[in-house]
Amino acid sequence: MTLRPKRGPFDKCNLWPWRYWMTIGVGVLATTAEGRKNQIVPNAVVLIADTMGSFGDVDSHARLHKVMTLPEVGLYATVAGEVDKGAELVPVIANFLSLVPKLQRTYGSILQALAAACFAYKGNKFTLTELPRLRLPPEVFDPRKTSPEISAIVQDAWDKFDIGCDLILAVFDGTGRAHLFQITGAGHEISNVSFPGFAAIGVGAENALFWLSRRQHTMGIPLVCSAYHAYEAKLMAEGSAHVNKHLDIIVATNDDHWVCTTHAKLTAEKEHPEINIAAMKKLFKKFGPKDTVTLTKP
């Protein structure tokens, strides 16, 4: 017998790929009217994640928040995989970013800070967890000062070492332009996903990317339409028991940010007046899988 998730509103669209997925995190770039006027494209970002977390093969938690806001350094993130590892890594990235004054940030300096932060985090985690397993003391290891045999063993362990999480990061440069990056923990890979302007992580990423590609999402699309596209992409993952219907939404520009959640809020962060749960549900009733061309007009 083939199990099938409960049918949803996208069933009327033959493009829905029925599969089982787990957690989902989505990031999209957008451009506000002010950004278009000042020729700063893109100048906004929307991050969406569900709140389901799984532990082992049986246990799960329905309120595991996977979005992070660090407005003081212009950094916003969503995490997939081991959320505790992401909660360790994001502050490290923030520390390295803070070494570059916000008004002096360029794409190059941002990318360099991300690479340095990820390398430092991976190096520390590897030193503390993997070296003792190789019967080596948990101290800083310099492969240039050891035998080729030991160096080869450590190199193999380093290549296989996974930091345990994937990230989507939004960072603003000195002009107020938004940049979107994806960090893949297994391969220590940092990708610039500002082109075309969206990313997805988690086991549900394939479905989300499929839908954002069908919507032909780009960085120049207005903010509300971008948020709606991200909201749709999150819905694509809800067929799995490991992706719940709860969600957190972050909307951010260089000057401000807004947070919306289907859970009771524990902080006083404000919601965006046009991008919140009620507004997204209203748009979904209007558009569903239909064309959103009327929303894409500046």
Angstrom distance (rounded) from CA 21 to CA 247:
16
Angstrom distance (rounded) from CA 222 to CA 31:
5
Q: Where are the domains of the chain?
A: 9-129+164-287
Ordered alpha helix ranges (H), 215-291: 223-235, 277-287
Ordered alpha helix ranges (H), 68-189: 83-98, 107-129, 148-160
For helices 223-235 and 205-214, what crossing angle results, to 10°?
140
pLDDT for residue 33 is more than 80: yes
Q: Which amino acid is at 188?
A: H
Domain 9-129+164-287 part of CATH 3.60.20.10: yes
* Beta bridge partner(s), residue 249: 48, 260
Q: What is the pLDDT of residues 45-78, one digit of tens each?
A: 999 998 877 666 666 677 788 999 999 999 999 9
Identify the weakest region by mean pLDDT among 3-12, 112-121, 154-163. 3-12
Closest CA to 236 of 79, 52, 26, 65: 26
- Please state the rounded mean pLDDT for residues 237-243: 59
- Per the listing, tokens 């390398």 go with 119
Mean pLDDT of the chain: 87
Ordered alpha helix ranges (H), 177-271: 205-214, 223-235
Sign, CA torsion 131/132/135/138:
positive
